[in-house]
Amino acid sequence: MALEEFRKTAKSGYEVRRFKGLGEQNAEELAESTMEPGNRILKQITMEDAVAATTTFNSLMGESAVLRKKFIEENAFRANLDI
């Protein structure tokens, strides 16, 4: 994954932050993360990406618990848990 690769090569002093939406950021954070061209990454999204996203969304949010369970079982190793 890109984050792990970045962590291997990055010097200390960086911070990873996550927000649900731009509305959760204060003005300084928004200016630094989103409005500053040198700090943002633009990624072209294709129709294939949209199809994959729709399939995943429907699996996780749909009525079938079997699909959710399968997703969790296949992707649990990605979780970073602090138990």
Q: What is the pLDDT of residues 7-62, one digit of tens each?
A: 788 877 777 777 667 677 788 888 887 788 888 777 888 888 889 889 888 888 98
Same domain, 38 and 53: no
Under 8 Å between Cβ of 40 and 32: no
Q: What is the rounded distance in angstroms from the CA atom of residue 43 to the CA atom of residue 26?
A: 24
Same domain, 51 and 81: yes
* Position 79 pLDDT exceeds 80: yes
Same domain, 18 and 7: yes
Same domain, 11 and 48: no
Domain that holds residue 67: 43-83
Total domains, the chain: 2
Same domain, 52 and 37: no
| pTM for the full predicted model | 0.38
Same domain, 35 and 6: yes
Q: What is the rounded distance in angstroms from the CA atom of residue 11 to the CA atom of residue 61?
A: 39
